[in-house]
Amino acid sequence: MNWNRVRWLFVRELRDQIRDRRTMFTILVLPLMLYPIMGLLMLQVAQLRTTRHLSLAVFGSENLPADFLPPAADDTAQTVDEAIVSAESRDPQGNKITWHFLSQMPDSADAAPPNVASAPGVANSLEKSATRSWLRQSDFDAALYVSATENNTVEDNPQFQIVANLATDNSQLAASHVHSLIDNWQQQSLRKKLQASQIDLQVLEPANVETLDISEDQSKQVMLWAKVLPLIMFVWALTGAFYPAIDLCAGEKERGTLETLLSGPATRREIVYGKLFAVICFSLMTAILNLLSMQITISVVAGQFAGVQPEYAVLMGPLPLHSIGWLLVLLLPISILFSAVALAIAALARSSKEGQYYLMPLLLVGLPMVMLPMLPGVHLSIGTSMFPVAGAILLSRSLVEGNYAEALLYSPLVILITGISCWLATRWAIRQFETDTVLFRETDRFDMAAWLQHLWRDRSSVASPMMAMVCGAIVLVALFYGRLQSAGGELTWENIARSTIAVQLAMILAPCLIMAIFLTTSIRKALRLHRVSPLDFAVAMVLAISLHPSYVYFAQSIQAEFPFGEETKAALSGIDALLGAAPLVSLLMVLAVIPAICEELAFRGFIFAGLASHRGTVRAIFVTSVLFGLSHGVLQQSISASAMGLVLGIVAWRTGSVVCCILIHVCHNSLSMILVRLGTIFAEPPAILQPFVRLGSDMGFEYTGNWHAISAVLTIAAMAYFVRSPAKTVTRARFAKVTDSNPASSVAANAV
């Protein structure tokens, strides 16, 4: 690659973008103006906060204890008429509360409140509706019913019932204030009773608890902004890269200059790198300017709050300079990743208008990776370091918070994963520019009749990449709604079997079969049902047996890194008991054979063949692995299934058929079921199995250390055979997936 050409293209693209006034306004001027204006609006809006005037109706005020009345109620009490006595008080937030002590019910029948207090806590829907209407008509925010309990005086144990419409803010505030008053009265009443009984009041507070905050103000600021800023920086880096990428790709198509650029001496790869460096510059520039503008604005706003509300000024203060430096270090890999993805997506767009439609889906896909570090309890570890973007954000948080030892420990893995992600995104962008059908698609109006005619007339033996992606999306959506529907009902083996078979046949296999029948010319080729050589079949059988111990170890490591919650464990234990009592033959048929056939025909068959067309081998391997992992409802199984899918994808690619994948899938799931079932039948492994398995801690069988080592060697040899053997078909495909159809069961957790 000629780097002088890349540099020339980079300068050309950068100069063209600088000449665009709209781009420069969005990148340079808008960040400098946006946050000061937002800060000004925040200060203006803060002045609009006013105290609320709440109204509270009290029934049975004669049952109120003498010392219950709110502060200042006795001093300001006045008689309004014969029915109502009013008093005023204020809650801790400064809201004004007017108490209306109703000594008798109003004369109007339709205005009278229902007698909810007659049966506290058991008011039916009719009474609730009538009370809601009465509160609204009488302009009361809440009502308090006070009565004496049976066999007790009011002073000993009054009965309170608060009636409020918690769907409104005023009613929530009034009810909360009354709750606090009742709690305070109960504490004071208990103290008086203890004093009267000559009991030491220390029994109420046996220990004096005091919290000493030794944190620095900067640490509090870092704790707050370390969680918020990564999300904001994600939006900055992505939007700063997306709009220049749209102009450099779709904009050049509209201006007619793309053909001139492609006919020059520069290769497609050099063109991509030149454009990529320009997009990275604008992404970095946007994020840096937004960060600096935000810091300046926060400093001014915090200074305004310092005299009025110092606690907010401390929390919202600007980040220290070293923290900003670590955030800027994070920006470089994130900007490279987003710039490459934006450039690849922009190459798909036929116009700037179409390209702008792709921004929202891209944001929605990337947000989970950014929201993950913001969840409570999520910290930097081996598991979280494996997630693109999320691992980099957690690493930057550790650096910002000063946890340098933790950051140093996991930084190599984070850098490796981020580098691989950037390389894949860059490769995708280069592939887009190397495909003329992508670059020179014409913008035309959508005609449903013509499109359907095109699908039927231009059918091929395998699906197109778009058909494969649509099929994968249909399968995932169907699984989402199907599992929600099957979640209810009685938990029995019959129900589990029926739901599993329905999911496999109707939601995984059916979409692929329907599309293969109507959208391709050969069902056999579309599903990759080709013959395999005896040697491939034999090596696949060895791989199916030898791979299972390594997969079990990997799955257990994933569960140790991301342990199940207590509710999930309880649900899994119930399912394990049902599976342990189910007939072995039906268990293997439902959870091993049927899932293997349906899932392999779908993922390693139809979807794999479509994605592998048009030189999409790598695309087919990774995309089908991700789709296969997402088809499992449990995160731990999704991760292990995606990894197993890569292995099956290589086998599917090299053998040119889905047959070996089905064989591995069936054997893999069957071994998981049999391994657990043997532990319930034998007190110790039979002599013939003792070299391979032993009695585990959970009363099931587990593999011995010697078999782990031997099976690992056999797995490496089998995979070396498949990797070194040539692809058997013209539709080259790769990585796939593996796992059990019922992700809710821990018995099947080690199934493919």
pTM here is 0.70
- pLDDT tens digits, residue range 310-337? 555 455 556 667 677 777 777 888 888 8
Distance CA 432, CA 272 (A): 9
Q: Are 520 and 526 in contact (CB under 8 A)?
A: yes
Percent of the residues in the chain that have a pLDDT greater than 70, as a whole number: 74
- pLDDT tens digits, residue range 336-392? 888 888 888 888 887 788 887 887 788 777 777 777 777 777 788 887 888 888 888
Q: Classify residue 215 as left (phi > 0), alpha (psi -120 to 50) or beta.
A: beta
Which residue type is seen at 549?
P
210 by Cβ neighbours in 10 Å (0-12 / 13-18 / 19+) ranks as exposed
Q: 103: pLDDT confidence band, cut at 50, 70 and 90?
A: low
Q: Who has greater pLDDT, 606 or 102?
A: 606
Q: Are 669 and 595 in contact (CB under 8 A)?
A: yes
Question: Which whole number is the average pLDDT over 276-292?
Answer: 86
3-state SS of 131-166 is HHHHHHHHCCCEEEEEEECCCCCCCCCEEEEEEECC
Distance CA 655, CA 728 (A): 6
Question: Which whole number is the average pLDDT over 67-75?
Answer: 53
273 by Cβ neighbours in 10 Å (0-12 / 13-18 / 19+) ranks as buried
Maximum Cα–Cα distance across the chain: 101
Q: Tokens 């029915």 map to which residue?
A: 83
Q: Is the pLDDT of residue 658 over 70?
A: yes
Q: Which residues contact 239 (CB under 8 A, 6 or more apart)?
A: 286, 359
- pLDDT tens digits, residue range 105-158? 444 334 445 454 443 443 445 456 666 677 777 778 888 888 766 555 545 667
- pLDDT tens digits, residue range 416-470? 998 888 888 888 888 888 876 666 665 555 567 776 777 777 788 888 888 899 9
- Element spanning 14, H or E: helix 3-19
Please list, residue by residue across 296-327, b when 16 or more beta carbons sit within 10 angstroms of its beta carbon and e when fewer do: ebbeebbeebeeeeeeebbbbbbbeeebbebb
Q: 219: pLDDT confidence band, cut at 50, 70 and 90?
A: low
Q: 405: pLDDT confidence band, cut at 50, 70 and 90?
A: confident
Distance CA 691, CA 685 (A): 9
What count of other Cβ atoms lies within 10 Å of the Cβ of residue 162?
Answer: 16
SS3 content of the chain, % helix, strand, coil (to 5): 65, 5, 25
Q: Is the pLDDT of residue 648 over 90?
A: yes
Percent of the residues in the chain that have a pLDDT greater than 90, as a whole number: 13
Nearest to 346 by CA among 723, 106, 13, 646: 13
Q: Who has greater pLDDT, 166 or 539?
A: 539
Q: Is the pLDDT of residue 474 over 90?
A: yes
- Element spanning 84, H or E: strand 84-90
The end-to-end CA distance of the chain, in Å, is 43
The residues pairing with 85 across neighbouring beta strands, listed in sequence order, are: 79, 101
Mean pLDDT of the chain: 76
Distance CA 488, CA 498 (A): 13
Distance CA 486, CA 502 (A): 10
Per-residue pLDDT, 159: 79
Please list, residue by residue across 403-429, b when 16 or more beta carbons sit within 10 angstroms of its beta carbon and e when fewer do: eeebbeebbebbeebbeebbebbbbbb
Q: Which residues contact 13 (CB under 8 A, 6 or more apart)?
A: 248, 274, 275, 278
Per-residue pLDDT, 267: 86
Q: 83: pLDDT confidence band, cut at 50, 70 and 90?
A: very low
Q: Which residues contact 385 (CB under 8 A, 6 or more apart)?
A: 391, 394, 395, 410, 413, 414, 417
